[in-house]
Chains A and B, each alone.
Chain A
């Protein structure tokens, strides 16, 4: 499985959070929204201007700028599985 920055993953793809390289207070905030290693995250859509993008994590939709998302890394899941849900 390929590890990539969240900001690089395509809309419609999904993966498992691998690690978060952000200052503690930021990662603390993100952790309480569900961004913790091991959680499933889906790249849901992009804002009309392309950035920020909306991620679905554990039933919650969260908008993040790419400048933040590029510090979150995930293991991409095979594309096929996603659409069934």
Chain B
């Protein structure tokens, strides 16, 4: 390969570029902007390292990342990462947020003093379209042409000097992935903070900033500066001819999906369980050091259990995000979406919803966090709404308990198919069916009005970097612990308090005589048609914290009852429930939103209490009706 590598002298280039604005004002805030897939996040991570803050902009679902530019020795500067957008035309929420931040109209966000504009150097005609509207805002801007390594390797050429003159803003080639060429950034910031603006900017921007005019402006600029687009990525073509092959494509896809599923279950689940056991033991040991009174109960059963119910999610979340990170960074996630689109369309979603929904079979919490890869807000919301119907692992304890207690261990077809396995499978199918119907309902009502088309950019294949994966895991883990963890802890603690109050003398109530116990008795008339007694009622209430809690609660309740305390929990349930009620109970669990963690994460991801409230109400009603029908039908049949 004739490696004509453009190796520009960056300092010379900056000197050649026209001076930048900002007067003698001290710099405080720098905005980072660029189109989707231009490597902006990689650059953001390079510049800020681990010290970043994530929050939502007020009132919208758009996330706000900011951090001190510590990695380049400018801890005094805050870098704001704007959402990836193609233009500043405010069709999307993302673009509206970007415009508001750049023009200083976003409440709570300081006006940026200068802008770093990141563009993918391998597609300049297209990427430069964003430059025109960004320059029009009038802030000092450094244009960073990313992916210089790709450009060089595939024989593309950019004359950065000519481009800087043409654009009227300094231009530099960088590779954020390899950390090359980043020295221009501190130089630029130094200049932006010291040089007064002389007002000259010999640049002609398109007057009418429509897509077409920006495009023809961009093409003219690249033409005048003799830009040579790189050759098509050969490896990407070759890989795609296998990975998107008619036969091998779906086979490899299924293998990848199966591998993810397998690892999450065979490694993630035991890790979560192990973590749970470890934390319980730690709590029990620590509790011995405390006096045996309400303080011990409060700390161990109230607070420590809450902490535990947050932490047990962490292994699965991190593992799932490791996979999703690898899939996304390598470029395969887009191919997976392309392959899955046909199937997902049948249920009214698009291909990008596949991996999140699959993850929901392990746990809805990381699944809902993973819907971030769906850019379309409505599709994302629909995916969030249906994800909790997927049979997550927290439903399994009550499923196995009821099945073992009520379903005879019969085998059919020479022992290949067991009745118990079939019931379990039907419960999985039931959840999937509910998701399907809900997605259809959403599609034909709320979402129909503005169905956006499925437009999928297929990026080139790339090796995921350890740095990017680590940061992603750190970011998601921290977000979960800080934002969702606090809500989960608060809910768990509240339910615990309700289950031990009121005080009798200086003693806590047992659960039967607690507030929750009273509510359990009180709702008995409502749940009686479902075949549930007050004990199940208390179990349902306590399991609003997390589905698996019901098994422990029922154990406590039947253990206290003189009639059943000698029997095993299975025996006690058989003694106390009809088959109709028992099956109605698992059907209830297949549909109900008995999980504060999911509600907390939906609240966090949609930035509103509205959606978790709708979801909770809808799922509870569906669960109630389905359980009612189940109990009535079974009771009348048998």
Contact = CB atoms under 8 A, between A and B. Distances in A.
A24 to B, nearest CB: 8
Interface in A46-69: 47-52, 54, 56, 58-65, 67-68
B89 A28 contact: yes
B212 A36 contact: yes
Interface string B229-261: 110100010001100111101100000000000
Contacts of A30: 455
Contacts of A32: 35, 86-87, 126, 129, 211
A44 to B, nearest CB: 8
A68 B458 contact: no
Contacts of A27: 211
B45 interface: no
Contacts of B337: 63
Interface residues of A, number: 33
A61 B241 CA distance: 13
Given A26-B453, A32-B211, A36-B215, A61 B458 contact: yes
B452 interface: yes
Nearest to A50: B342
B244 A47 contact: yes
Interface residues of B, number: 41
A60 B453 contact: no
Contact of A48 (B126, B250, B455, B456): B250
Contact of A60 (B126, B129, B244, B454): B126
Contacts of B87: 28, 32
B341 interface: yes
Nearest to A68: B453
B563 to A, nearest CB: 58
Contacts of A47: 244, 249, 338-339, 341-342
Interface string B202-233: 00000000011001000000000000011010
Contacts of A33: 86, 126, 455, 457
Interface string A4-32: 00000000000000000010111111111
Interface of B: 35, 86-87, 89, 91, 122-123, 125-126, 129, 211-212, 215, 229-230, 232, 236, 240-241, 244-247, 249-250, 334, 337-339, 341-343, 345, 351, 452-458
28 contacts: A28-B87, A29-B91, A29-B455, A32-B126, A33-B455, A33-B457, A36-B212, A47-B338, A47-B339, A47-B341, A47-B342, A48-B245, A48-B339, A51-B341, A52-B338, A54-B240, A54-B244, A58-B126, A59-B122, A59-B229, A59-B230, A59-B232, A62-B456, A62-B457, A63-B458, A64-B453, A64-B456, A68-B454
